[in-house]
Structure formats: structure tokens, C-alpha cells
Amino acid sequence: MATPSEDIETLAAEIGSNVYIDVARWHLYLAEAHLHTVLAERFYPILRSKSISEAEVQQVLESISVKLGGGRKELPLSDLLPMQSQVALVDVLETFQRDL
């Protein structure tokens, strides 16, 4: 049985390699953008307690600000993920929760 920190690392790795932001048609995976761990830390408690909904996923994505241009501008992560990537995130979360 894995510890919570090992579970979060596993979830972060899955998110980081399957979910990306789109910048000028360039796909930057969340591991490369160093955003995968913060997402895993936010989603893990939800996944442990109940089934996650797409609305909750959207809410978490909107709550994470991503600094652009050296911090001159901030956008919610939800604005940077294309729909395909959001679907991939939901799939990763559902698979992870099923395997818990």
C-alpha cells in the first residue's frame, strides 16, 4: 500500500506526462511547466473522498494562476488548457481514482 506522498507523486507523473497547455500551438506538458505537482496536490484529497466531477476539475483549474511574461500577467490554468487536454486530465483522474 502506497503512502499519500507516493500516491501524489504517481498522480503528478500521470498528469505531467498526459496534460499540456497550448501556447501558440506549442504543447507544453505540465511536467515541463512544473504545474503537475500542484494539480496532484489539489486533486488528491478530492479523489480520496468522492467521485470527481468535471465541474470540480474546472473549479480547480480556475483556482490555479499561471504567471506569464515574467509575472507581468497571470491567467487561470483553465484558460491555457485546450479541451483535449482537459479531457485527458479527467481521464487521468478517473483512472487514478479507480486504482486507489
| pLDDT tens, the chain, 100 aa long | 689 999 999 999 999 999 999 999 999 999 999 999 999 999 999 999 999 999 999 999 999 999 999 999 999 999 999 999 999 999 999 999 999 8
Closest C-alpha among 7, 9, 15, 11 to residue 33: 15
The pTM is what?
Answer: 0.94
3-class DSSP state of 66: strand
Rounded CA separation 41/71 (Å): 23
Residue labelled with grid coordinates 500521470: 14
